């Protein structure tokens, strides 16, 4: 059980773990897996979830008993960075925890978060242990094979450069030749990372406690703020109920510029709320218990998509 600290309690150095990766790569799945592992080790963790939108959907996957903080409305590496220090201090001072896990937004550059954490370290005792970068193998292979210079590819390269541990997730969906191709690219950008092929982010979790994977800062001149001028986020609150088929039809015709969506939907023909995740053409849904979170909400994330057109498509349902 987690207990709150007394005001007089001392503050030991808190290990920090960062979870990075592009939208839909599997960061939340990995985070949940890691939390379960650490719980079997009788470790007490706290979680910080950063969402570029104003609604936290990924937090629904986290056990209610684990102290959890949300930083919404932008990336901590640029627009809401000042909130990170206050959040870490609050967790450290108020809970008996062994470590803090931070799930970054899919468009975060981990190197800028390292810089931010170095400033936070002036206020509170923290130690950055590991940056794990989760990659959707099929999606990233396709990006590199097309050899198109774009903001998404540039960002993913920065996330690769930052990872001490890199997971080639969904590797069961691609060929051996494709994995060899992707590993070659990773070695080019980050020759020192530990690279693991995974399905559903399953690995030997003892790796996370290896001292040989500590991050090193990289000064490469990447300007993260350029990306955010192209990333659009739209949150839609439904004031009516859809059928499952109506909802699926929306994603069957969704603009290719929208590569990520998630939310909680109450359907007309299903009992109880459903949590949904959409990434790179694949839609998944699962039933959840009713909570105090906002229901019937969907968050759409992409590059340069028309919010007006999206709303029109939703209204046509």
pLDDT tens figures, 16-28: 999 999 988 999 9
Residue 227's pLDDT is 47
Residue 9 has pLDDT above 60, yes or no: no
38's CB contacts (< 8 A; 6+ apart) are: 45, 98, 99, 205
pLDDT at position 302: 82
Q: Say how many C-beta atoms besides its own lie within 10 A of residue 279's C-beta.
A: 21
Q: What is the pLDDT of residue 5?
A: 62
Contact criterion met (CB below 8 Å) for 103 and 47: yes
Which of 168, 210, 160, 229 shows the shortest CA–CA distance to 189?
160
The answer to whether the beta carbons of residues 13 and 125 sit under 8 Å apart is yes
pLDDT computed for residue 4 by the predictor: 64
- At residue 71, the pLDDT reads 87
Q: What are phi and psi of 16, to 5 degrees?
A: -115, 135
6, pLDDT greater than 70: no
pLDDT tens track for 182-192: 999 999 999 98
Q: 233 is written with which tokens?
A: 């986020």
Of 133-142, 202-211, 233-242, the range with the highest mean pLDDT is: 133-142
Q: Of 12 and 218, which is predicted with more confidence?
A: 12
What pLDDT shows up at residue 156? Answer: 93
Q: Which two tokens stand for residue 209?
A: 């406690």
Residue ranges and CATH numbers for the domains of the chain are 14-226 (3.40.50.300), 231-316 (3.30.1220.10)
To the nearest whole percent, how much of the chain has pLDDT over 90? Answer: 41
- Mean pLDDT value across residues 254-276: 87
pLDDT at 240 exceeding the cut of 90: no
Which residues have CB under 8 Å from 3's CB, separation 6+?
95, 96
Q: Which residue has the higher pLDDT, 302 or 39?
A: 39
Q: How far apart are CA 121 and CA 279, in angstroms?
A: 35
Mean pLDDT of all residues in 97-107? 92
How far apart are the C-alpha atoms of 202 and 198, rounded to whole Å? 6
Residue 298 pLDDT > 70, yes or no?
yes
d(CA 25, CA 105): 11
Residue 59 pLDDT exceeds 90:
no
Mean pLDDT of the chain: 84
């Amino acid at each position: 059980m987690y207990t709150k600290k007394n005001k007089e309690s001392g503050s030991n150095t808190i290990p920090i773990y960062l979870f990075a990766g592009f939208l839909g790569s599997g960061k939340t799945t990995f985070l949940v897996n890691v939390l379960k592992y650490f719980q079997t080790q009788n470790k007490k963790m706290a979680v910080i979830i950063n969402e570029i939108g104003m609604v936290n959907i990924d937090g629904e996957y986290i056990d209610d008993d684990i102290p959890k903080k949300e930083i919404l409305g932008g990336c901590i590496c640029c627009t809401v960075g000042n909130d990170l220090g206050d959040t870490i201090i609050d967790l450290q001072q108020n809970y008996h925890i062994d470590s803090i896990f931070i799930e970054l937004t899919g468009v975060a550059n981990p190197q800028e978060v390292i810089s931010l954490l170095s400033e936070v370290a002036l206020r509170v005792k923290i130690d950055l242990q590991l940056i794990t970068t989760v990659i959707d193998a099929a999606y990233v292979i396709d990006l590199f094979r097309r050899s198109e210079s774009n903001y998404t590819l540039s960002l993913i390269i920065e996330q690769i450069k930052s990872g001490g541990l890199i997971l080639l997730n969904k590797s069961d969906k691609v060929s051996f030749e494709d994995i060899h191709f992707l590993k070659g690219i990773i070695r080019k950008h980050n020759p020192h990372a530990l690279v693991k092929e995974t399905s559903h982010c399953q690995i030997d979790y003892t790796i996370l406690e290896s001292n040989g994977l500590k991050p090193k800062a990289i000064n490469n001149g990447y300007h993260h703020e350029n990306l955010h001028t192209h990333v659009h986020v739209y949150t839609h609150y439904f004031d009516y109920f859809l059928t499952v088929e109506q909802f699926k039809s929306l994603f069957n015709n969704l603009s290719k510029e929208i590569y990520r969506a998630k939310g909680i939907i109450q359907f007309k023909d299903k009992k109880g709320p459903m949590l949904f995740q959409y990434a790179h053409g694949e839609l998944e849904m699962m039933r959840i218990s009713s909570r105090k979170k906002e229901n019937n909400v969907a968050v759409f994330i992409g590059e340069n998509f028309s919010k007006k057109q999206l709303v029109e498509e939703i209204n046509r349902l």
